[in-house]
Structure 1
Amino acid sequence: MTSSVLQSFLNENISALKERGLYNEIDPVQGANGPVITIDGQKLINLSSNNYLGLATDERLREAAKEAVDSHGAGAGAVRTINGTLDLHLTLEEKLAEFKDTEAVISYQSGFNCNMAAISAVMDKHDAILSDELNHASIIDGCRLSKAKIIRFDHSDMEDLRTKAKEAVESGQYNKVMVITDGVFSMDGDIAKLPEMVDIAEAFDLITYVDDAHGSGVLGKGAGTVKHFGLQDKVDFQMGTLSKAMGVIGGYVAGKTELIDWLKVRSRPFLFSTAVSPADAAASTKAIELLIQSTDLNEKLWKNSHYLKDGLKKLGFDIGVSETPITPCIIGDEKDTQKFSKRLYEEGVYAKAIVFPTVPRGKGRVRNMPTAAHTKEMLDDALKAYEKIGKELGLI
């Protein structure tokens, strides 16, 4: 039986979302999530995947996953702290530490889990966290879970960060103060000002935390935003995912040995949730090995990114302040954004509308994610669709 109160709440609020252009339709993909995907039997150029390097469908990762299933089974069988830590997990963590140039790494079931786990394992109600106002939802939730005082600073505004860091530290109210930021911001594609942030952290003895979900595999010749700036020894927490550029699933935190030891005994998702499958661990390790061995995929990603950005700018689209392959076409109105995305679909391009609450009201955009797997011909076809629909809707 469904409560009438619950049913009324659901009906009213779902209807309201649909009327305001804020209801998200889920489109199941038939087959692999590559540069071209199939939805409802229609083939579409895929510009909505986080599969930056095309590794989600790479044959070398598939083979590594298959071998791991044959040798280690379909699942890990337990949480890491009982007997769910397989040799495959240790190999993955060792390879990640090499990749990130840190002393140690702890891996988790997802990037979201990393932020829920690591922040709350170190920060508590006696502490404060300085958080960029555009940080990812998982950072926000991780900060809330910690019960620390959350102090938001204006997006990438280092003067505002300095002012608020000084106030927090000099108030004497907090045992510890952390500053936390995305390395690459997922909706606008801009890069955090890590050198300035680290300077402020050193001046006020702040703990530093960088969520590099969209930087790993992309910046620093693939090694991430922190390495891009040469700050491996200056950032306490380097968080990353294995589900975007690496093409698999999972997350990790890289840092000093003592930090990783602490997270292994105090971070709740590590303690209370079954480890990632053998296939996922092996495929992720293979992805990291490929990036250590060669920068070819990273270079192809950036070549395609520059090509698409230049094409959209020449057509007259507003791509905001993006400095990375994340390329938003900012439309503004939520309904217009949804209509634009729908027309792209009809023209054979899958580029998802991103609207409130993922981005602020009135800042709706179609977010494009070129990958190393796209061909020039695919990107040309996408640009032709953008030109046709942009003129049709009076946007260019």
Structure 2
Amino acid sequence: MNSKLLDDFTKDVLETAKRNSTYRTLRTMETPESSHVKICVAGAHASSEQLLLASNSYLDLANIPELKQAMAQAVLDWGTGSGGARLTTGNKTPHNELENELAKFKGEEAAITFNTGYMANVGTISALCGKSDIIFSDALNHASIIDGIRLSRATCVVYKHNDMIDLERAIQESKAKAIGNEPSPNATKQKMLIVTDAVFSMDGDLANLPELLRIARTYNCLLMIDEAHATGVIGQTGRGLAEHYGCEHADVTVGTLSKAIACEGGFVAGKKQLIEFLKNKSRSFIFTTAMAPAMAAGALRNLQFLESHPERVLQLQENVKFFCEALQREGLNVPQSPSAIIPIIIGDEAAALNASARLLERGYVIPAIRYPTVAKGQARLRASLMATHTREELERATTAIVQVIRSTNYV
């Protein structure tokens, strides 16, 4: 065993990350996920309570007593594990019930669940496309989309972020090139897939679904969107981009149960035939043990809670509007976010880390996002809100953010 080779390689990588202020460490929370948490802070004798402005649990469902009780009962009813893959012994009643509810919630014929949203993207893209196909991918798509494209071995064409003119140009050029290269009689018919995040996780902006639909129809492309940060957040009742824009759905809609739904797992919703196809062809569905049935039952109960409490979605949207306007009044260059994500650009990686650390000392959890998650020189504080944050809390957070930034002239 060549331990020195491994030690030297990993040491070099970690030391480089530390020099570049891109080294990652874990932060430990000692309380359940909610708007207020206790965190172990280095050098402190005891954990301190913080206002959490960093969670993807946008509707703050993870710590609701009745939902926790439902999950506990599900464990008692179904045990702690599934015992097998869905296609062998792992498929239990809660899986089917959850998928039926997801399809209904998304307004689709059917749905299929995966163990994570990452697995949903990887498994779906690599099942739909192969090496003879072309995938058009937004420049700011999530890593799970990028990895799915790599696994598919399809040709990847990256278009400028949210730039529909550039997307259309890229498709036209690819079609012209295909016409110029006469395929052999036995060649597989080429598919073209447009894939994009619905809400972009670092900037909080939305994909232009109506234009994407138009382009997909015009050029006979499939369209896939990932609504990880849109489900439970976008649209009057949290059903996503189609509800927000009042338009048709994409051919393939991916989502997650781990953010606004506050549980675990991912899903794909669409036509029944698409879902049957994924059951037969998606490797990340076929070759993995099913999520615990108790987890599926918990996700179902959380989803039903969301459906019966649309006021939580509206409260979240009102909080975002209030917070963005408060920051803007103080002179900060932040967008009026249409999602729950508000980026506060700092620029320098070390400066962003320092700002985040100073806010933590004052009782606010807002992480610094740095390269390679965002481009070099685009380091930022990434705030994400919950429906249960109060206006008083958001006002105090605004004051703290502005004071930290102004005291060091970051922006």
The TM-score normalised by the length of structure 2 is 0.93
Q: Tell me how far apart the structure 2 counterparts of residues 2 and 59 of structure 1 sit (CA, whole Å).
A: 51
Matched, 1:229 2:245: yes
CA distance in 2, matches of 1:360, 1:339: 18
Select the residue among 372, 377, 380 that pairs with 2:392.
377
Q: What's the counterpart of residue 348 of structure 2?
A: 333
Query: In structure 2, what is the Cα distance between the partners aligned to 1:216 and 1:153?
Result: 24
Residue segments in structure 2 that go unaligned for 5+ positions in a row: 41-46, 182-188
2:11 matches 1:11: yes
Residue 87 (structure 1) aligned with residue 93 (structure 2):
yes
The C-alpha deviation readout for 1:260-306, integer Å capped at 9, x for no partner, is 00000111111111111122211211122122223111011111111
Structure 2 counterpart SS, 1:366: strand
CA shift, 1:96, in A, is 0.3
Counterpart-to-counterpart distance in 1, 2:338 and 2:320 = 10
Secondary structure in 2 aligned to 1:215? Answer: coil
Q: Distance in 1 between the 2:31 and 2:306 partners? A: 26
Structure 1 window deviating more from structure 2 (249-258 vs 369-378): it is 369-378
1:158-197 equivalent positions in 2, closer than 5 A: 158-172=164-178, 175-197=190-212
With 4-13 and 73-82 compared, the bigger mean Cα shift is at 4-13
Q: What secondary structure does 1:56 align onto? A: coil
What code does the residue aligned with 1:59 have?
Answer: P
Listed as ranges, the matches of 1:276-291 within 5 Å are 276-291=291-306
Q: Secondary structure at the match of 1:55?
A: coil
Of residues 250, 256, 264, the one that matches 1:241 is 256
- Give the 3-state SS of the residue equivalent to 2:247 in structure 1: coil
Provide the C-alpha distance between the structure 1 equivalents of 2:175 and 2:301, rounded to a whole number of angstroms.
Answer: 43
Quote the sequence identity (%).
37
Tell me the secondary structure at the aligned position of residue 62 of structure 2: helix
1:189/1:321 contact within 8 Å kept: no
CA distance in 1, matches of 2:410, 2:11: 34
Matched-pair contact (CA < 8 Å) for 2:159–2:166:
yes
Work out which of the residue numbers 209, 216, 224 in structure 2 matches 1:201. 216
Contact 1:320 1:330 in 2 (8 A): no
Output the CA distance in 2 between the equivalents of 1:61 and 1:365.
Answer: 34
Kindly tell me: are residues 321 and 125 of structure 1, through their superposed partners in 2, closer, same or farther at Cα, counting changes over 3 Å?
A: farther
Cα displacement string for residues 317-342 of structure 1 (whole angstroms, at most 9, x for unaligned residues): 22247322200110001111111001
CA distance in 2, matches of 1:385, 1:218: 26
> Corresponding residue for 2:32?
32
Equivalences, count: 395
- Return 5+ residue gaps in structure 1 as ranges: none
Question: What aligned pairs does 1:354-393 form with structure 2 within 5 A after superposition?
Answer: 354-393=369-408
Q: More displaced, 240-249 or 164-173?
A: 164-173
Question: For the Cα contact (< 8 Å) 2:324–2:335, is it kept in 1?
Answer: no
- 8 Å CA contact 2:53–2:383 kept in 1: the answer is yes
- Partners of 1:190 and 1:321 within 8 A in 2: no
Q: Which residue identity does 1:112 align to in structure 2?
A: Y
Work out whether residues 317 and 330 of structure 1, in 8 Å CA contact, stay in contact via their aligned partners in 2.
no
RMSD: 1.4
Q: Deviations over 1:41-88 (max 9, x none)?
A: 111110111010001112232122111111111111111000101100
Higher deviation after alignment, 385-394 or 349-358 = 385-394
